Amino acid sequence: MRSQPGRLGIERQHHLQGSAIDRDRPLQFRLDGRIVSGFAGDTVLSAALASGIDAAGRRDGVALALSARHAPAITFAALAGDHQRALPMERTLATNGADYLTTAQKVGGNLVARLLRRGGRSLDIDLDRSDALARPWLGTPAAAGPEADLVVVGGGVAGLSAALAGARRGLRVVLAEATPLLGGKARLFGTQDGEETPDAAIARLTAAVAKTDAITVLTSAEAFALRPGVVRLHQVEMPDGTPTGRVIDIHAPHIVLATGALERLPLFPGNRLPGVIGALDAFELAQLYGLWPGSSALVATGSSPAYRLAMLLTDAGITVPRIIDSRPHPQSRFIEFSKAYGITLAAGTIVASATPARRGNGVVAMPKLSMEGFSRTEPALPVDRLVVCGGWQPDLTLWHMAGGESAWNAGGMRLEGRGGPEGTVLAGSAAGWVSRSACLASGGDAVDVLLGRHRRLVEDRLIDPIYETPDAPASVGDEPDEAAQPVFLDGGWRHIQRPRRVVSRWPAWLPFAPKPPGWSLADTPQPLDIADIAAGVQLGAIPATSAGIVAQERVAMVVIESDQPDETAHPAGPLPLPPPWLAARYAGATLWLAVPDDARTLDAGALIHTNADETDPLKAIGVIVRIVNGTAVALVDGSAGQSASVREPGRAVGIRLVEPYRA
């Protein structure tokens, strides 16, 4: 496994061996010229991560982690330059012998610097460029997709349940899942008493979907635009075993959005360094692809499922020196199990900041006890990996694109969907449901809502807060100063940062003292992802009452051709003479043909004065309205043979009114 240092070993029994990969079928491909090793079932991204590439590139000189939400597009080397055929690393299955290039611009530097970087841990993308991680297919014209009565976006348990419910109601269903596999995120959250396991539930639902002819499943198909009645998505297909992208529009009167929830990023300096990863991302990469670089991990969370990941890691031989929890008195069944594993727990503690380790690829976390008004910095913790969890935000991105509304829930510290457009409904954790049973039920309920049927009861079976402490909001660490690592509001490719504190040796009241920079998200020339909005509310940049409308305004919308009339079209027709904006300008004025005293063409629009000495525009007596067949038409109160003066730039031109103008 030397070629895949990020892959977990399988010498011992554990649950993170990689359910999606076949370790008996190794493969190799090239990425930007370097050899990447993986297994059948890997995506290009998971193979790159397994091969030790864990940084996407640099922004403001700081390396940022490579992840499913922060990866460049790739293209076959033979198609370099044809960005319309670019593919997403995270949705493209790795194939043996392929030769890929990333489409983004690389970090510059001299030859020596470039040679030194070669073969390192980074893809060396220049993340200072605004289009560094842009998705070229967003502007690709769409082909017609399969016909459908119902489109379900999201292939987790809620989406699977909705697709089956739709098929049972006689609808032709298209189920679109962004990742290569159905099943969603339910596995991290474990099982409550009396429930089937997540694996069993997913297997049961996917088998039922596979057996239902009325359901067309599109995997590796990411919906990126939505309007009522139409979903636009980009899918990576594998015709003849070669990954190929296509953009399609699926028109359907009914749409269920089961897009799940995004994991919030705690807000501390260094929160996107290579080696820092969200608990859900980390779990998925480990569970599906057996990925885990390094041998130690610090877990920092405000949500109980991260404890489950810590235990699975311990089973897999990873050392978890501590779990730090921002909640002052957390209670959970997972916590009790973790204690039994012998993992040290630190309640009321957050990560104040993180920095790259001086040696190796790890990070150094600075924990801070922060509880009930008391704050104390704890000793630094060097680890190979820092796993963070800042709670969950329903993914309402497509909902907002469709015109759906949302509102801030102060209790849950998250945006939740409210009224939506006709024919589009939310289901599962996108609709705010927490438990798996509720997510399952909400899928069927969403279809009933769309069809106007009697609704079924959906209930979140939550454990009493005495035994299962609710999630804390994403923790907020140190405010970054000019020397600190940047603080990003979210882990996606928008790179919205918390402003840095300006340290000044001058008192603020002095006129030349540097003023704190204003933080205007209105001027930020990137869309704001929904987790950016949630962080903006937490940091006070967006009032909670406006969070929903801001999220709707700043979603990354893509134009879908519409039948709506183009109100920008300007009616054509004969020009009125005089134009309406000259109405009543000059009392008694009529249209006259005017000729200059010199042989020249008069300037249309110029003001006419009684004589050359008069320059006050408020005392003008008329205007040259138009030049018709080489002769000036003036709007002026005058008489045949009358002389006047036209004021042109820098001089006055004498004119004479010849005769009334007749069209």
Partner 1 sequence: MSETRADFVIIGSTPLARLVAGLLASVHGKSVVFSGESQSGYRLPRAIDLSVAPITRPETWGLLKAGLPEALKLLSRIGGRGAWSRVDPIFFSEAAAGKEALAHIRHMALAFGHAAELVPASAIGPGRSGLLLRDAVLLHRPTLEAGLDRWLDQHGVRRCGESETLTVRSSGSAELVSGADRIEIEQAVLADDAAVIDHVPGPLWPALLTRHVTSTIFTEPTRPIAATVMHRLDTGLTLVQQPGRGIAAIGPGAIDPFAAALGTLLGREREFRQAGQSSYEALVTVDAAPAVGRLRGSGPDILAGLGPSGAFLAPAIARWLCGKADPAENAWLGARLVDRRAAPSAVAEYGCAA
Per-residue DSSP letters for 17-40? Answer: S-TT-EEEEEEEEEETTEEEEEEE
Q: CA angle, corner 510, sides to 505 and 511, nearest 5? A: 120
- Pick 118 or 585: Cβ nearer partner 1: 585
Confirm or reject binding of residue 35 to partner 1 (CB under 8 A). Answer: no
Length of the chain: 663
Pairing relationship of beta strands 99-102 and 22-31 according to DSSP bridges: parallel
DSSP state letter for 444: H
Query: Which among 111-119, 313-321, 326-334, 643-651 is the span making contact with partner 1, rule CB under 8 A?
Result: 643-651
Q: Is residue 579 near partner 1 by the rule CB under 8 A? A: yes
Compute the least distance from the CB of residue 492 to partner 1, in Å.
13
Residues between 462 and 491 that touch partner 1 (CB under 8 A): none
Do residues 131 and 156 make contact, with C-beta atoms less than 8 angstroms apart? no
Position 223 contacts partner 1 (CB under 8 A): no
Q: Which two tokens stand for residue 79?
A: 């198609």
614 near partner 1, judged by CB under 8 A = no
Which residue in the set 24, 240, 523, 598 belongs to the binding site for partner 1 (CB under 8 A)?
523
Residue 415, token pair as written in the block: 């945006």
Contact call for residue 564 and partner 1 (CB under 8 A): yes
Cβ-based neighbours of 419, under 8 Å, separated by 6 or more: 404, 405
Q: Give me the least distance between CB of 620 and partner 1, in Å please.
A: 7
Q: Is 603 in the site for partner 1 (CB under 8 A)?
A: yes
Helix, strand or coil, per DSSP, at residue 401: helix
* Residue indicated by tokens 């670019």: 86
Candidates 64, 257, 626, 634; binder of partner 1 (CB under 8 A) is 626
CB of 102 to partner 1, least distance (A): 19
DSSP state of 297: E
Tell me how far, at minimum, the Cβ of 626 lies from partner 1, in Å.
6
CB-based contact 47:28 (threshold 8 Å): no
Closest to 262 (Cα-Cα) out of 68, 98, 105: 68
Least Å distance between CB 561 and partner 1?
A: 7
Q: Residues 20, 542, 621, 655: which binds partner 1 (CB under 8 A)?
A: 542
Q: Kindly state whether residue 580 participates in binding partner 1, applying the rule CB under 8 A.
A: yes
The yes or no reply on residue 331 touching partner 1 (CB under 8 A) is no
Which ranges of 154-290 would DSSP assign to H, the alpha helix?
157-168, 198-210, 279-289
Report how far apart the first and last C-alpha atoms of the chain are (Å, whole number).
89
Q: Is 217 within 8 Å of 155 (Cβ atoms)?
A: yes
227 interacts with partner 1 by CB under 8 A: yes
> Which residues face 40 on adjacent strands?
22
Nearest distance, CB of residue 527 and partner 1, angstroms: 5
Member of 649, 651, 662, 663 binding partner 1 (CB under 8 A): 649
- The yes or no reply on residue 630 touching partner 1 (CB under 8 A) is no
Q: Tell whether residue 139 is a contact of partner 1 (CB under 8 A).
A: yes
Q: How far is CA 135 from the centre of its chain?
A: 11
- The piece of 127-135, 300-308, 318-326, 413-421 that touches partner 1 (CB under 8 A) is 127-135
CB under 8 A: which stretch of 17-25, 68-76, 245-253, 552-560 binds partner 1? Answer: 552-560
Select from 40, 79, 539, 560 the one that contacts partner 1 (CB under 8 A): 560
Structure tokens at 72: 């460049």
Distance, CA of 477 to CA of 299 (rounded, Å): 15
Stretch that binds partner 1, among 113-121, 258-266, 275-283, 604-612 (CB under 8 A): 604-612
| Contact set for partner 1, span 378-437 (CB under 8 A) | none
Structure letter (DSSP) for residue 60: T
Residue 254 binds to partner 1 (criterion: CB under 8 A): no
Residue 428, classed as helix, strand or coil, is helix
Positive or negative: CA dihedral 316, 322, 324, 330: positive
Q: Nearer Cβ to partner 1, position 540 or 641?
A: 540
Interface ranges with partner 1 (CB under 8 A): 130-131, 134, 138-139, 227, 518-528, 536, 541-543, 545-546, 549-550, 552-562, 564-568, 570, 572, 575, 579-585, 603-607, 615, 617-618, 620, 623, 625-626, 647-649
